Structure 1
Amino acid sequence: MEKKLPIVCPSCESELKVNSMHCESCSTTISGMFELPLLLKLSRKEQDFILDFVKASGSLKIMAGKLGLSYPTVRNMLDDLIGKIEKLQNTPQL
């Protein structure tokens, strides 16, 4: 079973930050307070949609066929995702 990277606190639902990173190859550890990249703040389903969309060369028609949904439905999904990304980009960082 693949472990999923948590992006919100399971206790208070605040956004989590990265505290340290470790290189398994040379055992270097970097500590600090780092923001998660914007795309990691999206759900796994949203990330998968973006990957599939890029692999479909940005074609909503191909996406609709792949997902078994209508073109307008996929267009609405993309519009919702764009709105969420814009909201995340405009959220002030603490």
Structure 2
Amino acid sequence: MKKAYKNCQSCGMPLKKDKFSGGTDQDGNKSKMYCSYCYSNGEFLNPEINTTAKMQNFAKEKLKAMGFPGFIAKFFTKSIPNLERWKKE
């Protein structure tokens, strides 16, 4: 059985904040690792975001667009390199 994560292992978003409760695997089952904003049907939705730095930048900009101050956005994204998707980098 796959481990269930509390946060998306690509962007770090809490999975409970995902309006779809997670992305989907290729077989249509809910992903226990990734949110619906990062992952659908077994594939990452933004293939151009293929490094830790690109994901941190992307997530920071999304958070700022949602009204979070820059220093908070930076704080929330500093753990992205420790997520499962990026550990092999």
| TM-score of the aligned structures, taking structure 1 as reference length | 0.30
Q: Whose relative contact order is higher, 1 or 2, with alpha carbons under 8 Å and at least 6 apart?
A: 2
Higher helix share: 1
Larger Rg: 1
Higher strand share: 1
| TM-score of the aligned structures, taking structure 2 as reference length | 0.31
